[in-house]
Structure 1
Amino acid sequence: MTDILVLGAGYTGVVAAIRTAVRTRRTGGRVKLVNASPRFTERLRLHQTAAGQRLADLQLEDVVAGTGIEFVQGRVAGLDVERRQARLQDGRVLGYDKLIYALGTVTDASVPGVAEHAFVYDDYAGTVRLAERLGALTSGTVVVAGGGLTGVESAAEIAEARPHLHVVLLTRGRPGSMMGERARAHLDAALERLGVEVRTGADITKVLPEGVELAGGELVHSDATLWTAGTRGLPLAAESGLTVDAHGRIVVDAALRSVSHPDVYAVGDAAAVSQPYGVLHGTCQGGIPTGLHAADSLAATLRGRTPKAFRFGYVHQPVSLGRKDAVIQFTRPDDSPRRWYLKGRAAITYKETVSSSPIPTFTLLKRGLVPVWVFALSAGLG
């Protein structure tokens, strides 16, 4: 028997676990999936949770039912890659022969005050606390720090759901700067329509209990501050002796194995995955293909075969702008914008389709099938 441990049960960890269980069933694979929470968190929709919307309550034991996977609830506190053991916060120790590391990233809290005074999207419980805070405000200002797609979606969602609150989006550059000009123009118009105050060139130097401080000393009042300005890998990876990059992500080879410890596979946001155009940035779009590829690489290795090299091409940048608007920027494989984009109702339909419940994808994987869109991404056909 081969004991295979999967750490982390987000989108990437779950697909990696299911695919590994299916592909190693005949070669003696025993898969354990470890996660701090018993709930499957739809991270793509945390901005909706923050705005007070109720999402489906998906339990991980139900998600992996029928696969032979053993679900273990517990928070990983330590990793000994030499002894091949993971230690949980409650003292339990789990051994493994092969490990798939899918613990994702956490908020980069290097700016003073972020850890103490800002709300972040590191987990479902923290997002619920933000929703409760916003729900308790009858008036006031909400600061969203960071003009990337997460910040834009959050600012729009909160402004639409809580029109009595003043939402300020603070960003160094232009919101949606990676998009083409026409898509960005629609995004800008949507934020203006929703009453979001956008301040570009904002360099936040400190987060305070009731606001943020900008370079130069200006204070921006805030009754609730949401920090979306950057993430980094958990310290756990570097502390274990795994080779990591400057952002704390595990550096992997073409088969998604750690370059320093080949019995460890890293996937999703937790991995520094190199492609001809650069290192992948963290998205579900790229994360799920890495989870599937790592599972296939592991299965091939157990059969004595040489794993294939991972290939991936981006397809789109989908952004919801509240529940009544969206914009989709289609991209080249390197994530640079193409001419084509969608907006309005067509974009809403597209966004809701690609961000819909992951259960159909998980069901296909349990049957040994892979959704067609994954083949397209992994072949670099974006």
Structure 2
Amino acid sequence: MTGNHRIVVLGAGYTGMFTAVRLAHRTRRTGVEITLVNPSGRFVERLRLHQIAAGQELAHHRISDMLDGTGVTFVQGAATAIDPEARRITVDGKDSLAYDTLVYALGSSTDTGQVPGVDAHAHALDSPEVAARFAARLTEVAAAGGTVTVCGGGLTGIEAAAEIAEAHPGLKVTLVSTEEPGSMMGDKARAYLHGALDRLGVTRETGTRVAKVLPGSVELADGRTLRSDACLWTAGVRVSPLAADAGIATDAHGLILTDATLRSVSHPQIHAVGDAAAVRLAYGQLHGSCQSGLPTAQYTADTIARLVRGRSVKPFRFGYFHQPVSLGRRDAVIQFTRADFTPVRARLTGRSAVMYKEMVSSSPIMTYRYSKRMNLTTIVSKGGRATRTPAA
């Protein structure tokens, strides 16, 4: 690769922002031109959207301010088409950007299309604006002593249910999930989590799924109906169809199939990071999270910088380290893990866990800030033996 190499990064979430900022630092004085494309001018801290949903005010981060001094060009608009043969991106249906290398970091959103009534009668934590509208609805429901249903027992659902219950103690909060909340944790961490939910008054409906969301209730698959004056949907995710529509090789869920260097198996000039990438290691496929997403961004920025200079690259390696879960503003539980995400005995609870979780939630913003001047790492573990052998 030579000078005037054009790199376009699609998506300015956690992974897209980190890729752009780190890449700018790693490729300075090489003639590389970097463009970051995103529909909104605001950087969204998705790790904190449950706080907005509970009525808290958070800092407003402008993408243009975060890119200040990097030399990265910011284009506010939605990518609506990719032509991988011509290497061009259509933005908002009209403007076209040419690229030599593309970083696909469009992430994921809540899947609200699989269950009837979710689109019309439930809220999701996909943007600060939607979370704020849900917070306004919560205020109305709390004033009437109503009921809130959180559908989905993953980490987002758990954190949202706890945050809402703590902020509105007069509300009846019900968490509905197919599996026991915290099932991925060890016994002691899971028991602590359930003790915190009990303390906050969060009712759990487990072992069942939601069949339909209605204006004032949630219908379960076992035939029961739960009153629900406000419904928050956190079950399942979906990705943009942009890659699949462009003929880029994807899996059944629309994630870009990648090789060991996180490049598209069908179009090697396209690198995929975060939730948009099907990244498979020897112990299994990475699941969408900031913990695994930022390392894919770091690796991709470093990989592109090496390719620009004509250097070789090594396969991506990553191991999980922890499962941090906030339980309102005054409690949390941290389950430490093996590289493959299975739990170990070590854990943190209470105030120390609260400080740990806040450090985790705050770290991306600080990482972007310092990455303008130095090469910080977000990879705590490369996985050891679990990642030495590439995936089949």
Both structures adopt the same fold (TM-score exceeding 0.5):
yes
CA contact (8 A) 1:74 1:90 kept: no
Structure 2 counterpart of 1:275, one-letter code:
L
Deviations 1:175-206 (A, max 9, x none): 01000000000000100110101011121112
Q: Which amino acid aligns with 2:352?
A: A
Q: Aligned to 1:25, what secondary structure does the other structure show?
A: coil
Q: CA deviation at 1:222?
A: 1.0
User: Residue 23 of structure 1 aligns with which residue?
Assistant: 26
State the 1:75 CA deviation: 1.5
CA distance in 2, matches of 1:378, 1:70: 32
What SS does the corresponding residue of 1:377 show, helix, strand or coil?
coil
SS in 2 for 1:376: coil
Aligned counterparts of 1:90 and 1:132: Cα–Cα separation in 2:
34
Q: Which runs of 4+ in 1 moved over 6 A?
A: none
3-state SS of 1:34 partner = strand
1:344-355 mapped onto 2 (5 Å cutoff): 344-355=350-361
Candidates 37, 45, 48, aligned match of 1:45: 48
Deviation at 1:232, TM superposition (A): 2.1
Task: Specify the alignment match of 1:135 in structure 2.
Answer: 139
Question: How far, CA to CA, are the matches of 2:100 and 2:251 in structure 1?
Answer: 25
The Cα of 1:379 is off from its aligned counterpart by 5.9
User: What SS class does the counterpart of residue 186 from structure 1 fall into?
Assistant: helix
Corresponding residue for residue 36 of structure 1: 39
2:115 to 92, 99, 111: 111
Q: Give yes or no for contact 1:3–1:97 (8 Å, CA) kept in 2.
A: yes
Tell me, what secondary structure is at the counterpart of 2:260? coil
Percent of pairs identical after alignment?
56
Shift of 1:151: 0.5
**For 2:352 and 2:219, how far apart are their aligned partners in 1?**
40
**AA aligned opposite 1:215:** A
Tell me the equivalent position of 1:226. 232
| Counterpart for residue 175 of structure 1 | 181
Counterpart residue number, 2:390: none
User: What residue number does 1:146 align with?
Assistant: 152
Give the count of matched residue pairs. 380
Distance 1:247 1:239 in 2: 13
**For 1:189-243, what per-residue CA distance to the aligned partner results, in whole angstroms no more than 9, with x for missing partners?**
1001101010111211122222221113322221111111111221112111111
Does residue 369 (structure 1) correspond to residue 369 (structure 2)? The answer is no
What CA distance in whole angstroms lies between the structure 2 residues aligned with 1:85 and 1:221? 50
Deviations 1:49-93 (A, max 9, x none): 110111111111111100000111112222222221221225222
| Distance across 1 between alignment mates of 2:275 and 2:129 | 20
The equivalent residue for 1:358 is 364
Q: 2:379, 2:385 → 1: CA distance?
A: 9
Q: Give the drift of 1:351.
A: 0.8
Counterpart CA distance in 1 for 2:82 and 2:52 is 32
The equivalent of 1:216 in structure 2 is 222
Question: Which moved further from structure 2: 108-117 or 315-324?
Answer: 108-117
CA–CA distance in structure 2, aligned partners of residues 224 and 177 of structure 1: 26
Alignment check: 8 A CA contact 2:146 2:171 kept: yes
Question: Is the partner of 1:287 in helix, strand or coil?
Answer: helix
Q: Which TM-score applies when normalising by structure 1?
A: 0.96
* Residue of structure 1 equivalent to 2:296: 290
Q: Name 2:252's counterpart in structure 1.
A: 246
Deviations 1:338-375 (A, max 9, x none): 0011111111111111111533211221113214xx24
Pick aligned residue for 1:92 from 85, 88, 95? 95
The answer on whether the counterparts of 2:339 and 2:383 sit within 8 Å (CA) in structure 1 is no
Question: Deviation at 1:378?
Answer: 3.9
Alignment partner, residue 80 of structure 1: 83
CA–CA distance in structure 2, aligned partners of residues 379 and 365 of structure 1: 24
Q: Distance in 1 between matches of 2:260 and 2:370?
A: 26
Pairwise CA distance, 1:254: 1.1
**Partner of residue 62, structure 2:** 59
Gaps of 5+ in 1: none
Q: Output the CA distance in 1 between the equivalents of 2:312 and 2:195.
A: 51
**TM-score between the two structures when normalised by the length of structure 2:** 0.94
**Which runs of 5 or more structure 2 residues have no equivalent in the other structure?**
387-392
Distance 1:380 1:99, change over 3 A: farther
Deviation of residue 39 (structure 1)?
0.7
Shift of 1:24: 2.0
Contact 2:104–2:270 (Cα < 8 Å) also in 1: yes
Output the CA distance in 1 between the equivalents of 2:26 and 2:344.
37
Instruction: Tell me which residue corresponds to 1:161.
Output: 167
Structure 1 contact 289–377 (Cα < 8 Å) conserved = no
